[in-house]
Structure 1
Amino acid sequence: MSDSDKNQLREQASSSEERKRKKRAPPGEFDRQVEAVRKEMQAIKESLEETERRKLEEAERLRQIYGTQSKQNEDLDDSASPTQNLSQQRDTGE
């Protein structure tokens, strides 16, 4: 290997090291990025928890509304006229 070949290899190696050094983040940058991602994940988690809480509240509210309405419908069925009761029994086979 000639001296010029050796010099060329050294230059390539040093320029490669320099490119790697330039690509490296400044000290502490990785930690800042990790903390930013951690905060973003926490915000998403809180948002999901809030959405879940709202869904549960809405489901409970609907249960109360339709549960009450269902009970009222049963009461109405019980108080229906005798001919309606007979036709319902005939329709259901009772």
Structure 2
Amino acid sequence: MERFWRKSGYQIRAINNDLEFPAVYARTRDGFGVSLSFGGKGQAFFEVDSPCVQVSEVASPTTSPNGPSYEGVYPIPRPNIRSPFWSAGAP
């Protein structure tokens, strides 16, 4: 994973070589932070941080969530939605 990112022009900031929970943290040429990490039960997390965001006012939502709101709940429950396309058929 690391070699591919380096060849693609990313500056590697940190690496977690853990066999169960690997992760790579990188920066693009134009300053965006990019990370790919794996958590429990194979959950993948891809995150991007923007270097060019200005603080601005954001209006409150005008509709209710169409699913459960986990506000104030910790730990947040694991996802329990199965998809024929995205969900693996085997562990």
TM > 0.5: no
Instruction: Point out which structure has higher relative CO (alpha carbons under 8 A, 6+ apart).
Output: 2
Provide the TM-score with structure 1 as the length reference.
0.14
Report the structure, 1 or 2, having the larger strand content. 2
Larger radius of gyration: 1
Provide the TM-score with structure 2 as the length reference.
0.14
